[in-house]
A and B are shown apart, each in its own frame.
Chain A
Amino acid sequence: MKRSHWSIPYAVFLGVFVVLPLLLILVYALQDGSGHFTFANIARFFSDSDALGTFAVSLEIAIENTLICILLGYPAAWILANRELNRSAVTIVLFILPMWINALMRTLATAELFSMFGIQLGKGTLLFGMVYDYLPFMIYPIYNVLNKMDKSYAEAAQDLGATPWKVFWKVTVPLSMPGVASGVLMVFMPTVSTFAISEFLTNNKIKLFGTIIQENINSSMWNYGAALALIMLVIIGISTMFTGGRGEAEEALI
């Protein structure tokens, strides 16, 4: 048996569980209820002010969530990667520990806490839940890049007259951008399509794009649901291009 034959099971898996579903989404999105080819589903989205509004809210929430994750996650990653401030691996595990628990359960627990303390559910609680869920996905790739960064760059900058503050802004931050890019990919993309968090943490007061896809599918509007999913995939695809060298961003995860 040739070595290349070993990849057959994986190719089959990819075909059945990745390529086929994507093709099905494409096919459903471009059909009407009776199986005729049409662009109507896609056109409907652009004239559906409800869907457009939800889409705008989803983008806004996703962008806000990503920004908050960067603002909180970058300093955390920097502290974790700094051997003078953090001498133990335990703290790193503590940051990653929440990822071991199912996100749905954490969200439910968070919702319970809010109701226990009598906190009104709304945008604030939604963002809190999202940041709580996705922060580790921002910290980890940034930490990885900072941790592997050759310390001699910072030394060279100091040697050339840079104060610690300038070293950080002129060397550390630019060199850690691949980690930030990969963190953005891992936080932004899933938050656009999430629906469970908004369901539990706002009682569906705030609908996200994922919510309306789910609603359409649940009410057997397969074709429109598929069209919305297709549009979301395209948007996500475009947003990954903005994060620049994908190769670098992926490297940050290793």
Chain B
Amino acid sequence: MAGEEHIIDLKHVSKSFGGKVVLDDINLYIRKGEFVTLLGPSGCGKTTTLRLIAGFLAPDEGEILLDGRDISGIPPYKRPFNTVFQRYALFPHLDVFENIAFGLKLQKVPADEIEQRVRKVLKMVSMTDYEERDVDSLSGGQQQRVAIARALVNQPKILLLDEPLAALDLKLRKDMQIELKEMHRELGITFIYVTHDQEEALTLSDTIVVMDEGRIQQIGTPAEVYNEPVNAFVADFIGESNILNGTMIRDRRVSFIGHEFDCVDEGFGENKPVDVVVRPEDIYFTQKEEKTQFTATVKSCTFKGVHYEMYVDSDTGYELMIQNYDAYPVDSVVRLYIDPDDIQVMHKERTCNTFEGVMKDETHVEMLGGTFECLPQPDLRAGDKVAVEVDFDKVDLLDHQEEGELAGEVHFLLYKGDHYHLTILTEDGDHLWVDTDDIWDKGDQVGVNFAPQDLKISKRHEA
């Protein structure tokens, strides 16, 4: 399996398209023989990263090293990598054999060796006897196999796979996952795999690189990423989770949903606001009173095949998702506990919105591409640079973009047990975060306003 030697290093790699930053200072190394998955929602930069490695794009900044040497100047046809494309890109004017032999013919490999290698690789992908077939006559799964064979026959140092299974149906996808994993074991070469499917990433990878908005959020083994997500985005993206606001009371003691729990995390400080993640399978039912940490009322119970999925309202009014092999009837009151090991405490990235602005006059501040009224600021003059803080729950969201001073859309949302935490992306590309009880959907167009008394303004000192 994976050794310690790096085959690929990405150092401070950035890339923009038409002024929009797609990759922002990516640092990543890939070990020889590793199965690495770049995982993230669409637009997170994972495919761009793959295309940079393949050589179809050049980084704006930073360097890409292969075995320690910079390959920025090397065109894709000279890089010892091969790619399995998302829609396969099999040449329609060539049959299966000619497609697979394409790379070997370019290298002027002798005809009998080409024949031999193509047969071998066809056997590997279980497509023997398909040599003469027209690629258009193959099913999606068969085309996929030919695409993999076409890449592998060139014996690349690294196989790059760009969402190769996205177009296949579920059953076929699961079968191909197992086959890919076996191929990786047999060949011992490095696989770099791009997907938005977290389950696929967990199944296949030695290492998962979770990306969002052009940045790497977390790098780790599947177990690390699942059990110890570093932030709310990773926790939400990978698997089901309850993500809640909490307070770290002291080392190994955290409070959330109105109760205190023992945990295993240390070093957050005392009385610090944190995010807490509890996986739905980690909330246990008990009959014993002394084990009970809190009680809850079952609100719904759905059979999901292996387990039941229940939504419960805690005695303190928070909604939690629980998965269990046993079903508990709706409206019954249940006793629950959580093991200290299963509580994942994460630093809060921010506790309120902070914007940079400039005073227009005593009662107006300019920021985020708009002008907002604020309470009179006798200590500040027009033109003063200021920092403006707005609490998450003090942002007004309006149904119509034109009603707000700012226009934006709901970019990401988390349910935190008793309220929603939204990320709003404004038209100018700024982010702001909102706590609300109202229900919004991802992609909703919203107007944004602030009440004058909710802007907390302080003078910004140039560093």
Contact = CB atoms under 8 A, between A and B. Distances in A.
A158 B143 CA distance: 19
B306 interface: no
Nearest to A156: B89
Interface in A94-122: none
B102 A160 contact: yes
* Interface residues of A, dominant DSSP: helix
Interface stretch (A77-85, A161-169, A185-193): A161-169
B93 interface: yes
A162 B77 contact: yes
A250 B150 CA distance: 32
Contacts of A161: 77-78, 103, 106-107, 154
A82 B86 CA distance: 23
A157 B85 contact: no
Contacts of B151: 159-160
A174 B87 CA distance: 20
Interface stretch (A14-22, A36-44, A147-155, A195-203): A147-155
Contact of A175 (B81, B85, B93, B102): B93
| Interface-centre pick from B76, B86, B90, B150 (highest chain A CB count, 10 A) | B76
A160 B75 contact: no
B85 A156 contact: yes
Contact of A158 (B75, B150, B154): B75
A160 B94 CA distance: 15
A150 B82 CA distance: 18
Contacts of B320: none
B3 interface: no
B85 A171 contact: no
Contact of A152 (B89, B102, B106, B150): B89
A163 B89 contact: no
A155 B89 contact: yes
Interface string B194-217: 000000000000000000000000
A160 B56 contact: no
Interface residues of B, number: 24
Contacts of A150: 87, 89
Nearest to B162: A152
Given A161-B103, A161-B107, A166-B106, A156 B77 contact: no
Nearest to A150: B89
Contacts of B92: 175
A159 B87 contact: no
A174 B95 CA distance: 13
A159 B82 contact: yes
Contacts of A155: 56, 76, 83, 85, 89
Interface in B43-86: 54, 56, 75-78, 81-83, 85-86
A160 B93 contact: no
B87 A163 contact: no
A53 B295 CA distance: 103
A177 B83 CA distance: 26
B85 A160 contact: no
Contacts of B107: 161
A163 B77 contact: yes
A156 B90 CA distance: 8
Interface of A: 150, 152-153, 155-163, 166, 170-171, 174-175, 177
29 contacts: A150-B89, A152-B85, A152-B86, A152-B87, A152-B89, A153-B89, A153-B91, A155-B83, A155-B89, A156-B89, A156-B91, A157-B91, A158-B77, A159-B54, A159-B76, A159-B82, A159-B151, A160-B77, A160-B82, A160-B103, A162-B77, A162-B102, A166-B106, A170-B102, A174-B93, A175-B91, A175-B92, A175-B93, A177-B93
Q: Lowest 5 CB-CB distances: which A-B pairs, in order?
A: A160-B103, A152-B89, A156-B89, A174-B93, A161-B106
